[in-house]
Structure 1
């Protein structure tokens, strides 16, 4: 029993010294201590919490409650017995917000259950966690993106199966490998439990306030407080969420910072919704702060600067989509929601990005992951530039 205490201390010390996630709350703290940046930082934090996080948590909670009984093995069995449906079903699974559907198909492929076209279909149609952000902020745009992504995913998957149904060597340890990743992804069980209870406690009042703000109601007057005090409350809740996100994972590598936290089964919707909301919020805050600080420090209007790139901006968004993980894609979606990039760039990124599903794909079958990513680039460029040419 006593030997476990030094190990716990060493783990906590390692977390504090090498956790790259802590850089974000540390940077926020420095900006708050600076008189020149305090006001804009508080405003960004409050807006990110009430305008984004509250809606994202509600969406995630509803989604995970609705899908918690879906069995990955049952989906795999259905695909194996109904191969004619597998590509279309894979495209639909990819369109589900988050990366769960895409990871199911990738895992089944490495077991030899599904075709390569199914993998291409799901990676083409998935938008990862950025879908939750787009749904919360602009649901009509999100539905349009999903419809186009599913159509292109199914079409690309069927085409690939006709001409290049690449079969990777079966990986019998695929599921155990993913479970290993899950056990390593979340470091502090205490932080996860605290995150879960934190969001359960504040979700209903936060959502009510967020809805009132969406209708432009003077919420601070209803609580008999000044607007500045109300902003400080939102900023405080946001900082607490960022701190919990930083402490929930190891933060020692690229994947730990750019992908959502994975917890060992069984999946609890309360836990998953809290962790994913914190992840999305962290990247949204990063995007908002970059946007505002560029204006404050350099007088640089990011929207105007990016728009001077013309059609090259679509290619840039597509290339960012090739980066594994949902973090960079949330950054792109945040830029779109702020009017910095056009819808064509958002479309191209949504189709090219593979979300967190690319991590298990690279680990279990790197050649298949590379080929599938290359194939998904084709519809991304066609749709992105097609929309730009005809509508923008």
Structure 2
């Protein structure tokens, strides 16, 4: 009996959520430590509260609408024939698919290029127009700027794709047809029982919170003092936001192991049949995690270093669009969310955001590298050229 218990205890720390593979736990554990310390408590509570009420709630609401609409739109496929009718239509619809928040549209076009259904111009168009999950954050925090950046991405994506069509044939750098990777996996099918429970709890967490949390977030956006409105003690709503965001990060940390770069910076795979709120919850927590990293790093550096980071970054001037472009060339959505977070906080200018949005390929670059590495490399370089032009064009026209 004792031997059996010892074996189970040993397995728990070898294969369970406490395994070092679950490095995501470092985030909530660090946040708890920062809240517990009297030195960092005030700045941490204020930052996490802002991240939850001003970002996570709006991202969850935006994602819920998006996934509900996606479920309705996916039932109609009238544009498929038009999509494959000509090279120009392929580029146009690929740019539109890339402009959809998230990486689903870009991944679809990538796999269709490998299967021979669309040309190389289409993959350049979709990688140029996509913002990945950073689009959700920008739309939730600054909807007018978000629509503008997405619109610019569509235009630049179309122009880039049409130009590439004029230079290259459709099968340029297309590999020999082979078994394609699946477009989307089902995280819960491959996960162990513990991870499935954590995934389900993420959905339940936002299912119950999304309506009241969005209402409170909206009131806060209109400068309503929530504590005073509901006759709560001072800092009550700030502590509530802090506790809720730490709980959401604990749930997020226990749903997936970190094994490599891709598993660190890309969103979790979701079941196609999952409820829209379940998908919204998983995406929201992924975006929130990277927002927290950006916000906390920003605030702690400013707090301990007594630095005005927006003022310091403004001194970088002409280097900021280049910084946004270079980060955008990194695969995955995580680094791009960091740049968008810097823009929202005022540390990065819009020119850097534009350069990052156009050069950003999001999670779509992972299947592209796996299926067609040469095409992925060239398409990434091609998307960096318009990013350089647009980023520095906006900088010299409006920011100098």
TM-score of the superposition, structure 2-length normalised? 0.91
* Larger helix share, 1 or 2: 1
Q: Are 1:125 and 1:153, in contact at CA under 8 Å, matched by a contact in 2? A: yes
What displacement does 1:6 show?
A: 9.6
What is the match of residue 30 of structure 1? 33
What is the match of residue 367 of structure 2? 360
Q: 1: CA distance between counterparts of 2:293 and 2:13?
A: 30
The number of equivalent residue pairs is 389
Q: Mark the runs of 5 or more structure 2 residues left unpaired by the alignment.
A: none
Q: 2: CA distance between counterparts of 1:351 and 1:206?
A: 32
How has the CA–CA distance of structure 1 residues 378 and 185 changed in structure 2, closer, same or farther, with 3 Å as cutoff? farther
Matched, 1:387 2:387: no
| Secondary structure of the structure 2 residue equivalent to 1:114 | coil
How has the CA–CA distance of structure 1 residues 109 and 336 changed in structure 2, closer, same or farther, with 3 Å as cutoff? same
How has the CA–CA distance of structure 1 residues 185 and 381 changed in structure 2, closer, same or farther, with 3 Å as cutoff? farther
Which residue of 60, 76, 101 maps to 1:57? 60
1:323-349 Cα shifts (integer Å, max 9, x gaps):
111111111011111111111111000
Q: 2: CA distance between counterparts of 1:202 and 1:14?
A: 25
Tell me whether 307-316 or 53-62 shows the greater mean CA deviation: 307-316
1:30-73 Cα shifts (integer Å, max 9, x gaps):
21221110111111111100000111101000011001244499
What is the match of residue 325 of structure 1? 332
Tell me whether 379-388 or 105-114 shows the greater mean CA deviation: 105-114
Matched, 1:159 2:160: no
| Secondary structure of the structure 1 residue equivalent to 2:383 | helix
1:205-263 Cα shifts (integer Å, max 9, x gaps):
10010010000111112322123222111100000111111111112222222111112
Matched, 1:272 2:275: no
What displacement does 1:266 show?
A: 2.2
Q: 1: CA distance between counterparts of 2:236 and 2:53?
A: 14
Q: Mark the runs of 5 or more structure 1 residues left unpaired by the alignment.
A: none
Aligned pairs for 1:39-118 (under 5 A) are 39-71=42-74, 74=77, 78-118=82-122
Q: Are 2:132 and 2:361, in contact at CA under 8 Å, matched by a contact in 1? A: yes
What is the match of residue 188 of structure 1? 195
What displacement does 1:79 show?
A: 2.9
Which residue of 202, 215, 229 maps to 1:208? 215
CA RMSD of aligned residues (A): 2.4
Q: Are 1:68 and 1:267, in contact at CA under 8 Å, matched by a contact in 2? A: no
Q: Are 1:127 and 1:354, in contact at CA under 8 Å, matched by a contact in 2? A: yes
What displacement does 1:305 show?
A: 1.8
Q: Are 1:86 and 1:118, in contact at CA under 8 Å, matched by a contact in 2? A: yes
How has the CA–CA distance of structure 1 residues 129 and 205 changed in structure 2, closer, same or farther, with 3 Å as cutoff? same
| Secondary structure of the structure 2 residue equivalent to 1:107 | helix
What displacement does 1:170 show?
A: 4.4
What is the match of residue 225 of structure 2? 218
Q: Are 1:79 and 1:113, in contact at CA under 8 Å, matched by a contact in 2? A: no
How has the CA–CA distance of structure 1 residues 182 and 115 changed in structure 2, closer, same or farther, with 3 Å as cutoff? farther
Q: Are 1:76 and 1:108, in contact at CA under 8 Å, matched by a contact in 2? A: no
